[in-house]
Structure 1
Amino acid sequence: MTIRIINRSKNSLPAYETAHAAGMDLRADTAETILLKPMERKLIPTGLHIELPVGFEAQIRPRSGLAFKHGIGIVNSPGTIDADYRGEIKVLLVNLGTEVFEINNGDRIAQMVVAKHETVNWDEVETLNDTTRGEGGFGHTAVK
């Protein structure tokens, strides 16, 4: 599949780093170093605009290395980019670590996964079919 993209940054386009990777790294597009203090969140620009086909979304996810080594995550993870959005892709990073985290132009800050999705129609009813689980929710399997 080919997707139209505008790159207003000086960084390379998102790319798959390995043959079987699901996500492509997104890079920061910033003229100055951004300092992200512990428990602070900031919207980081990428300089990218995309045109997804109808029936697809782009999911913005944290990078596991940043999460593990520095406590850097994404507040609304996964973030969703809809097929009708044409604005710049920005990543809402949060620093859950104990040290100030530095973000420079070109740093890999998140992953983007393009995925097909379904559109549903609701059938409003009074009852639902029974299952073994039933209404069992959080913690219902009771791991001991």
Structure 2
Amino acid sequence: MNEVLAFDWGTEIVGVLDVKTGLYMAYRGEGEMIEGAKRVLSVEGTIVSFNGNACDLPRLFELLQREQTECALKATHDDMLVITSTIRWAPDPGTGPINGPGLCATYTHYFGESKPSRPCSFTGEYEANNWLDCYMAAELWKKWKRDELAP
């Protein structure tokens, strides 16, 4: 079965959310962050991010001391910043800006003002925010896959 993982790199954490099960894992500290990077980069299926092309993926490759190339990924990478920006602003598919609004503004555009409630099991605010970024990217991805993202 192909996995779908939403991920977010942070200076102290690599967060990974299994989109199908909703299970989140926080990889903290250098050793665990390397394990999180390995998990994301070795998955066969789909990885989901928001601005992962410009930020998160390069940082994961840096953690593993590897060069970033297209063939380095086993998974399909869906960067929801690029996808939502293309949908919202491109006169022709594939020509949209790659620097649309941030994740929270994009999530609010598609889901309204309500913020998702955070599970209580986090070790702190930093981890909760990382989960939230993974969650919002995953929800945008699911809406996109259902063909429900409109300008």
Confirm or deny a common fold (TM above 0.5): no
TM-score, length basis structure 2? 0.23
TM-score, length basis structure 1? 0.24
